[in-house]
Amino acid sequence: MASLTVRRLDDAIRDELRLRAARNGRSVEDEVRVILREASLGRSLSAAAPAAAPSSVRTPASTRSHVTLIIGGGIAAYKALDLIRRLKERYIHVRCVLTKAAQQFVTQLAVSALSHERVYTDLFDPESEFDAGHIRLAREADLIVVAPATADLMAKMAQGHADDLASAVLLASDRPILLAPAMNPLMWDNAATRRNVAQLARDGIVMIGPNAGEMAEVNEAGVGRMAEPMEIAEAAERLLRPPQPHPLAGKRVLITAGPTHEPIDPVRYIANRSSGKQGFAIAVAAQAAGADVTLISGPVDLGDPPGVTVKRVESARDMLRQVEATLPVDIAIFAAAVADWRVGNEGEQKLKKTVQGMPPLQLVENPDLLATISKLDTAKRPKLVIGFAAETEHLIENAKAKFARKGCDWIVANDVSPTGGVMGGDRNTVHLLARQDGEITVDSWPVMTKEQVAVELVTRIGRAVERAP
């Protein structure tokens, strides 16, 4: 049954599910069972999600955040219309509550047209209260934003009133609350407002603004203008999506990617089908995790990832030279598909057809980058050396043999047989080989996008770095 369910899910949820399963070391079916079990015990899906390890780098959120926006009855209510747009362009789902006074300033029609949702105004509305709608407005949100927050609403909050929908939602909520106060400077300066503001701050409520500036009233200026919609949206986003930790901050990471081209003569070369996508994705993820990343890439059709130092090379020997020139680094990841052989008798001029038949190409072995760097003296060797094993048969067996031969710390094994579409494709199914107590461990991940593989690998590197002395 679980596999049927998985097949019907949309791509984003399916990817999220697979990533979760990989993180928890479970099969997708087992992960679905855990979610169902926890849901039946009354825990929400997000509560059942494993707490990301402190060092983890998360994939971009595929689920949208939910904000309940309470619009108070002040002149600045018109700016709340722009705020709805600013939140929505950040992929935040917005549901609005209008106080009675707010309806004097903006219409329900405008608010619902912008939020694409029905608007809530009445605590005693039988249509929404049949299932305690005010509690749902409080609990189903990840964040409650009050903009404008009137002096009156703040006074009610500070005192714990709940005699209308807005104040009842605020009192019934255990979610973070962001207030954007807006009022006349004398109202803001009033001792009662000062007391209420201090009380709300003690209650853990976050405020943005008010700013100084012109008031709506003629010839009035001072502190009391509501923060601009953009500022409020940014503050909301910070509360919803706190900045990610940077587990690789201060670490130098070297990554190789792509194929190599081994010249036959000035116009011909031996190549392979590597696209470089996996190595580039790892560079992006490592950079996002705070690392100082150098990406050494063979010829590929990919642009330089922002914030990454990219060195472009052609042959395996060029790649090794650039790798050695980049040392010392803390972590080296060899994702490039380096040609095992090159032409020993490379033609100085374009080789010609002759009556004697085909030119006798002699293949000689290329330097082994992974083994060379893995076997460096401790002083020069990166603390963590990770190789990739691309195999078309007996994947795990061959990867284990490669692991034993090369002297690296981890191997990421992937099946590159043509039927899998890994070479040049966007997805990858990998197995992470490591050593524990002298034994080789194999951790098989479900099929993921190359970006997800990159994020997962970097997350694991972050944890290893954290544990390392």
Ligand X SMILES: Cc1cc2nc3c(=O)[nH]c(=O)nc-3n(C[C@H](O)[C@H](O)[C@H](O)COP(=O)(O)O)c2cc1C
Instruction: Specify the stretch interacting with ligand X by CB under 6 A; choose among 68-76, 255-263, 385-393, 407-415.
Output: 68-76
- Is the distance from CB of 23 to CB of 452 less than 8 angstroms? no
Instruction: Specify the stretch interacting with ligand X by CB under 6 A; choose among 150-158, 196-204, 254-262, 451-459.
Output: 150-158
C-alpha to C-alpha distance for 42 and 386, rounded to whole angstroms: 42
Q: Does residue 210 interact with ligand X by CB under 6 A?
A: no
* Single residue of 106, 119, 138, 153 touching ligand X by CB under 6 A: 153
Question: Any idea of the CA torsion for 18, 20, 24, 29, to the nearest 10 degrees?
Answer: -50
* Single residue of 19, 22, 80, 151 touching ligand X by CB under 6 A: 151
C-alpha to C-alpha distance for 32 and 22, rounded to whole angstroms: 12
Chain centre distance of CA 19: 12
Catalytic-residue membership of 184: no
Question: How near is the Cβ of 224 to ligand X at its closest, in Å?
Answer: 8
In degrees and rounded to multiples of 5, residue 28 shows phi and psi of -60, -40
Instruction: Specify the stretch interacting with ligand X by CB under 6 A; choose among 6-14, 73-81, 114-122, 280-288.
Output: 73-81
C-alpha neighbours within 13 Å on the C-beta side of residue 81: 17
SS3 content of the chain, % helix, strand, coil (to 5): 40, 20, 40
The enclosing H or E element of 94 equals strand 92-98
Q: Does residue 279 interact with ligand X by CB under 6 A?
A: no
Nearest to 146 by CA among 85, 74, 92: 74
Instruction: Specify the stretch interacting with ligand X by CB under 6 A; choose among 121-129, 145-153, 383-391, 444-452.
Output: 145-153
* Single residue of 31, 142, 152, 451 touching ligand X by CB under 6 A: 152
Catalytic residue among 272, 366, 414, 428: 272
Name residues contacting ligand X, limited to 177-206 (CB under 6 A): 182-183, 187
Q: Does residue 73 interact with ligand X by CB under 6 A?
A: yes
C-alpha to C-alpha distance for 167 and 207, rounded to whole angstroms: 17
Q: What x-and-dash track marks residues 21-60 binding ligand X by CB under 6 A?
A: ----------------------------------------
Helix/strand/coil for 82: helix
* Single residue of 22, 28, 92, 102 touching ligand X by CB under 6 A: 102
Instruction: List the catalytic residues.
Output: 272
Q: Which residues bind ligand X (CB under 6 A)?
A: 72-76, 99, 101-102, 150-153, 182-183, 187
